[in-house]
Chain A
């Protein structure tokens, strides 16, 4: 054996320790930043809206539930967002009616039926699909699908609820598939094996075992899809037309909360009531998506706790 290595215990220099402490401070600060940013978003958006909220003639009930949106009327200005809210939900509901069955079906296919290679390929396609910018979807809605809608239904204009719903469905499918697949993957293999050992077919395994077991995760997938659809701006701005009214049929043009802000913010004079009401609409949107996201998170957490 060689002689023991030389003595005095080494010490880190003060500079090194200081640098490390500084860096750890930065790390902690960055960790908190997400909370700061979310609070800041609410604060700054609400701050611009506040003067109109606290003014005497503001009526929250009318803002939420009146269908009269006449922001530039010379004689009688009215800011009722109900038609916009209905527009948002009509388009979202249609999108979900299309995207949920397809998305969950694709998720089931990916996680239960297809081979490894095909799954990897499809997952890449899904990732690319979700990477397509919303303005490109909007452009596709404007130039491609709107013509298809006119051809198929004979509607007067192609930019309507149906068109917006179809495009939003295409946009929300990827998120539903990927979260849904995660939820199905989270079901322990032992469940599948136990069911298969009892002589169940794969399909029976899916609807008797997996769907109940992954219920919460699938719910979260759907909710995140809803969140994405409600918050989508550019695509619906270009896809659904600009009529501010409650749609009577799938072939009516509508305007959503998001599209309304995008369409009018540029023209509303800074500091005017109109401008502030648009920010208030932003607060409303923030609250809606906040609620949807929290419910989705609770659903996912439920999955983890049981798993």
Chain B
């Protein structure tokens, strides 16, 4: 109040201090960019290297053929089919349980200690090391439940291990449906389930599907949990046979096969482990990319 405002406003002066600040900003920005780039560059480099080394073996015959001469030559068909079996079975178990659990957590549970306990359990289920899941599968399914070393034991183990993936993404999908829709339904006398069925599920189905796809990709890549519960180094299978296994037998699996040819079998043709890795990695990334595409596409067509 004391002094009158200056007639001409003071011009902004770029002092040494400001210049220093801006330089620091530029440096920080560049450094952080490098750190972000440090994630992308190795990924591309590694993918390129694997592809280059795998190239000699990469053709359709490699996928359809069976391993030959003590697994030093031939293809990966039994392992590929085995992985399909394991993934399909585990999805069949974990999809209903996971989706319903997410429905419970998002639509039914109240904010109390019990719900917090469930949340903590989900987090821990995701955080338990895969080898401990393997021990659990061995103790619970192979021995206690007497399923033996079998596709059944292995896929149940995988199902429990991948449950948190489905729960988390389904929950996110359910939570993205606005609360006002639910209230509108309750106000006209719809029960909780009628509300879920009519409004919540149809509008979150895409997110739920994304979760299921991610479960598939996760289950396909896991090695440790199936190593001691149902996956086996080698099993004789016909070339291109689509139904080579029964559920109470062991099977081969891609991830396990990669471990085997990379570390356990001497004198493998050089391209074979690389090609196995490329097929495994390629399938997993393809499945993931599907999930990403689905999500991006659906973000574009919201109904409200």
Determine whether A80 belongs to the interface, using a CB cutoff of 8 Å to chain B.
no
Contact between B105 and A203, CB atoms less than 8 A apart: no
A30 touches B100 (CB 8 A): yes
Instruction: Give bound CA distance, A250 to B164, whole Å.
Output: 35
CA distance A28 to B222 in the complex (A): 29
* A127 interfacial contact with B, CB 8 Å: yes
Contacts of B31 in A (CB 8 A): 105
> Does the CB pair B46–A140 fall under 8 Å?
yes
A202 at the B interface (CB under 8 A): yes
A 7-37 to B, binary, CB cutoff 8 A, 1 in contact else 0: 0000000000000100110111111111101
Contact with A along B266-278 (1 / 0, CB 8 A): 0000000110010
Q: Does A173 lie within 8 Å of B288, measured CB to CB?
A: no
Chain B binding site: helix, strand, loop or mixed by DSSP? Answer: helix
Flag if A30 contacts B97 (CB, 8 Å).
Answer: yes
Give the residues in chain B near A32, CB-CB below 8 Å. 118
How far, in whole Å, are A204 and B25 apart by their CA atoms in the complex?
A: 8
Q: Distance (Å) between the CB of B139 and the closest chain A CB?
A: 4
Is A188 located at the chain interface by the 8 A CB criterion? no
Chain B residues contacting A187 (CB-CB under 8 Å) are none
Contact A232 B129 (CB under 8 A): yes
Cβ-based interface call for B104 (8 A): yes
Is A139 interfacial (CB-CB < 8 Å)?
Answer: yes
User: Known: A20-B191, A44-B139. Contact between A122 and B284, CB under 8 A?
Assistant: no
1/0 per residue B108-139: CB within 8 Å of A? Answer: 11000000011111111101111111111011
Min Cβ gap A272→B in Å is 14
A127 vs B139: C-alpha distance when bound (angstroms): 33
Chain A: number of interface residues, binned into ranges: 35 or more
B127 pairs with A289, CB closer than 8 A = yes
Q: Is the CB of A24 within 8 A of B118?
A: no
Q: In the complex, which residue of chain A has the Cβ closest to the Cβ of B49?
A: A144
Chain A's closest residue to B101 (CB) is A30
- Determine which of A27, A102, A224, A296 lies in contact with B38 in the assembled complex, contact meaning CB atoms within 8 Å: A102
Residue picked from B34, B105, B125, most chain A C-beta under 10 Å: B125
Decide if B128 touches A31 in the complex (CB within 8 Å).
no
A42's nearest neighbour on chain B, judged by CB, is B136
Number of interface residues of B (CB under 8 A): 89
Inter-subunit contact A33/B97 (CB<8 Å): yes
8 shortest interchain CB distances as A-B pairs: A133-B221, A31-B104, A231-B129, A105-B35, A109-B32, A30-B100, A44-B139, A203-B28
* B-binding residues in A (CB < 8 A): 20, 23-24, 26-35, 37-38, 40-41, 44-45, 47-48, 101-102, 105-106, 108-110, 112-114, 122, 124-129, 131-136, 138-140, 142-144, 170, 173-174, 177, 201-204, 206, 224, 227-228, 230-234, 238, 258, 261-262, 265-266, 278-279, 282, 285-286, 289-290, 292-294, 296-297
A48-B139, A113-B32 given; 16 more Cβ-contact pairs under 8 Å: A30-B98, A30-B101, A32-B118, A38-B121, A40-B140, A105-B32, A113-B33, A128-B288, A132-B285, A135-B258, A142-B263, A143-B262, A201-B25, A206-B28, A282-B132, A285-B131
